[in-house]
Amino acid sequence: MQFIMLDVDLIQNHDLTNDEIVAYALLCDRMKSSRTSRQFYDSKLNDFYVIYTLEQMADSLKVSVRKVGQIFNKLVKLGFVTKKKQFSKADKLFLPKFTEPDQQNLPVVAANSATPQTQKLQTNQSHQNQKNQSEIDTVNTVDHQPQRYSSIEKWKNSVCGKLHVDQMVVDQILDFTKNDLTRAHQIMGIILNAKTNVAKINGLIKSPKTRFENNTNLGSKLAVKLKHIFSYLPAKLEEQAKYLMTALKTFFTEAFGLKKDEKITPVANSDLKIIEQPIPEWMEKDYQDNSEEISEAQRLATEKLIRNFHKR
């Protein structure tokens, strides 16, 4: 079970709803991780940021994406959040009011003048301060030493940072593979091969429309497409790769704005002369005119049958 910290001042802020308070607390919790990675540092604004998509926050709060959009706008309006747009990627979210928790400056009551209850509370607080100081020292030490990331974090940083793949796409792959990096790596390879294959066939290898960072279709739309494809993958592993490759080629063809082969409809040319072709001798007996004129009696009988049919 995972816990997040809620600032007391935040809870007592009457301008914020419960959803807005929890949303900001989640952003602050993620900011703690961002501040340990240079990947989430914006050199232009000289500050760290977090990536928290609308869909992720909606899932965390159990509300709609539209509601999350309203929550983020409210936090921006009150100065808790600053957004920086990214092309074909989720917004960078900066937290101007974010501060690392520091409990060392709590008031200390003299031991000789404190009540037994206060002395006990002070002793407990002292132990807590030592624990917090240990954690702070660890964080400070980490700032000056190489970071130790899990294998999953390294893979995500590599795919998102170097290949510019949208985080939603990466999360979709990890969710499907249940964080199996070997399988996730295979699927990412198939995605790249399918994209390159379509680009080569159509002479678009160096075109911006084939790059993850330039083509908006290769972000959230690819993530949605993957979710759909994963739900229809065959049971056999050897067939999954073929199915995935075929489905992704179709997706990239459409994502690159390429038209599919259109069905050719023949058009009659009225200017052409009609040339009567002679019927071969061996077919003549099948095309003989065997029609004969019917008698007056037969005609009347036929009309009577038709009238009786309409009376039914």
Q: What pLDDT is recorded for position 271? A: 56
Q: What pLDDT is recorded for position 11? A: 85
Q: What pLDDT is recorded for position 261? A: 45
Sequence spans of domains, the chain:
8-117, 151-255
Find out if CATH 3.40.190.290 is the number for domain 8-117: no
Q: What pLDDT is recorded for position 277? A: 52
Query: Which of the 8 DSSP states describes residue 134?
Result: H
Q: What pLDDT is recorded for position 132? A: 45
Q: What pLDDT is recorded for position 205? A: 85
Q: What is the DSSP string of 256-302?
A: TTPPPPPPP-----TTSPP-PPPPPGGGGGGG-----PPPHHHHHHH
Pair 155, 130: CB distance under 8 Å: no
Q: What pLDDT is recorded for position 259? A: 66
User: How many residues in total does the chain contain?
Assistant: 312
Task: Classify burial at 136, counting beta carbons within 10 Å of its beta carbon; exposed 0-12, middle 13-18, buried 19 or more.
Answer: middle
Weakly modelled stretches of the chain, pLDDT under 70: 1, 101-149, 259-296, 298-299, 306-312
- 3-state class (DSSP) for residue 32: helix
Backbone angles phi, psi at 245, to 5 degrees: -65, -45
Pair 48, 54: CB distance under 8 Å: no
- Radius of gyration in angstroms for the set of CA atoms belonging to the chain, rounded to a whole number: 36
- pLDDT, tens only, 271-297: 555 555 555 555 555 445 444 555 667
Q: What pLDDT is recorded for position 282? A: 53
Instruction: List C-alpha distances in Å: 194 to 31, 128, 190, 271.
Output: 35, 54, 6, 47
Q: What pLDDT is recorded for position 238? A: 75
Report which residue type is found at 101.
P
Q: Please name which of 218, 112, 120, 116 lies closest in space to residue 163, comparing C-alpha atoms.
A: 218
For residue 213, give both structure tokens: 């960072």
pTM for this model (two decimals):
0.40
Pair 71, 62: CB distance under 8 Å: no
Q: What pLDDT is recorded for position 240? A: 86
